[in-house]
Amino acid sequence: MHKVDFEMVEMTLDVMKYAIGRLTHPSPELGKPKNEAELKALVGETITPLGIGGEKAFNLFKDVLIKATVPIDHPRHLAFVPASPTKAAVMFDLVTSASSIHGAYWMEGAGGIFCENEAMKWLVSLTGLPEGAFGVFTSGGTAANLSAMVTAREFWRKDPSNRGKKGIVITSSGAHSSVKAMAKVIDCDVLLVETEEEMTSKALKEKITSLDPQERQRLFAVVATGGTTNAGIIDDLFGIGDLCQEENLWFHVDAAYGGGALASKTARSLFKGLEKADSITIDPHKWLFSPYDCGAILYREPELAKEAHSQEGSYLEIFNDDGARGFNPSDYQIQLTRRVRGLPLWFSLAMHGTDKYSWAVDRGIELANLAGELITKNPLVELVREPSLSCVVFRRLGWSSEDYTKWTYKNQREGFALVTPTKFKVQGEYETVARFCFINPATTEEDISMILASME
Ligand SMILES: Cc1ncc(COP(=O)(O)O)c(C=O)c1O
């Protein structure tokens, strides 16, 4: 298995040929899922004592299995938060794998971690965080939010009167599900400011004031959102930042999706107050064109993250030795062994320059505004709210929730598009509506028109 022989070289060529073919295909086939029994019937036993051979396994993957997946970079994949990694980043993902770099410690991964840190400096510069702020790449927004919440909780527990207490975090109902899920992981309670629109500092103040003294002592952090997943809404970061300072609370901003917009010279001003954050989540695998998976967590004071996350063990002591000194990404987030997952971003940034990133992010915003105009002109549909960042929430007049579901499945079955419905609170009631999220600069006006036409 580890020998270099003819078969291995042939397989490498096949893999490279496939990768190049996939990368240069403008509109990859939009696959659809099959159930497990169907897939098993199509491919048979693949894990056997003697192996089925690379050629057969790869053919099964290319001919059957890949067709049961949806390419996230399809120009008419506008569901959830899609992705559209640059070709450079995808190719460098192959290089990252081939290079077998351990990304936890400088001692082993210095060259790779150096590249990640160059990309991280750019990310930090977009946020306006002060000198000394820094961060690390994580597996995604969930892991970044968790790493931040652990850091915040450990910081709060430095005060001996908070030890042994169960913490409380306040966020809004528009916050991503991962905030609530990660609160479970660290066993803290979550209180919600009930709004899917912008969480204001006034509403937050009211929530804090409503707490009884015990609850108030348990409150250690506020999680604001810099671009909600559902509708691209940015909380009042400026006011919330000030309030957190007054109330001595950790201020985390989840900009996993919206953070990409910091690369846009025009949209950046929407994030006023971000510079007051103690920690910020930004996912390059969402709107900064990295392949999965690549999230990032940035800290105002990285030392606090180090206090919370650095691991100790006799086998790790060498990393404290002068000869091994350097930046150790594993000290700042929840994971020890890690892929240098910021490398594809670094290569793509280095190759293309940051201006192209600004352009590509602006294109997502432009597409959202364009979709807004097309919806306004079309008598069958109407905007639920004005487009925000690259999200558009709209309704098809006269449709029930079942109609939206049928429409989604039909488009996917026909290999045409993946656009899923969501629910949005309108006048106090949740309504099923349609939603676009634009990430891919290759999406065209015609794609949007065709999707709207599929609602007729
Ligand atoms: C605002 C926000 N936070 C967190 C996440 C979770 O990120 P991930 O799926 O990378 O863990 C998402 C995912 O869509 C998100 O939109």
pLDDT per residue as tens digits for the range 208-256: 999 999 999 999 999 999 999 999 999 999 999 999 999 999 999 999 9
User: Mean per-residue pLDDT for 176-196?
Assistant: 97
Residue among 233, 286, 389, 420 whose CB has most ligand 1 atoms within 8 A, to mutate? 286
User: Mean per-residue pLDDT for 317-329?
Assistant: 81
pLDDT > 80? residue 26: no
Residue among 78, 81, 145, 178 whose CB has most ligand 1 atoms within 8 A, to mutate? 178
232 C-beta closer than 6 A to ligand 1: no
Q: Closest ligand 1 atom to the C-alpha of 175?
A: 1
Which tens digit of pLDDT belongs to each residue from 93-114? 999 999 999 999 999 999 999 9
Collapse the DSSP code of 206 into the 3-class scheme (helix H, G, I; strand E, B; otherwise coil) and give the result. helix
Instruction: Tell me the pLDDT band of 143, cut-offs 50, 70 and 90.
Output: very high
Residue nearest to atom 7 of ligand 1 (CA): 141
The two three-digit tokens of residue 208, written as one number:
């804090």
230 C-beta closer than 6 A to ligand 1: no
pLDDT of the residue at 454: 98
pLDDT > 90? residue 313: no
CA–CA distance from 260 to each of 122, 126, 318, 343 (Å)?
Answer: 12, 10, 37, 17
CA of 257 to the centre of ligand 1 (A): 7
Asked whether the whole model's pTM tops 0.85, one would answer yes
229 C-beta closer than 6 A to ligand 1: yes
CA 439 to CA 444: how far, in whole Å? 12
pLDDT > 90? residue 3: yes
pLDDT of the residue at 207: 98
Residue nearest to atom 16 of ligand 1 (CA): 229
pLDDT of the residue at 325: 82
pLDDT of the residue at 27: 77
CA atoms 208, 249, 141, 131: torsion sign: positive
User: Mean per-residue pLDDT for 156-182?
Assistant: 97
pLDDT of the residue at 246: 98
CA 12 to CA 282: how far, in whole Å? 34
Residue among 138, 176, 271, 334 whose CB has most ligand 1 atoms within 8 A, to mutate? 176
pLDDT of the residue at 166: 97
Q: Closest ligand 1 atom to the C-alpha of 255?
A: 1
Instruction: Give residue for tokens 């109330």.
Output: 247
142 C-beta closer than 6 A to ligand 1: yes
Amino acid identity at 180: K
Instruction: Tell me the pLDDT band of 319, cut-offs 50, 70 and 90.
Output: confident
DSSP string for 312-333: --GGGGGGGSGGG-S--GGGGS
pLDDT of the residue at 316: 80
343-352 and 106-127 helices cross at what angle (nearest 10)?
60
User: Mean per-residue pLDDT for 376-390?
Assistant: 98
Which tens digit of pLDDT belongs to each residue from 275-286? 999 999 999 999
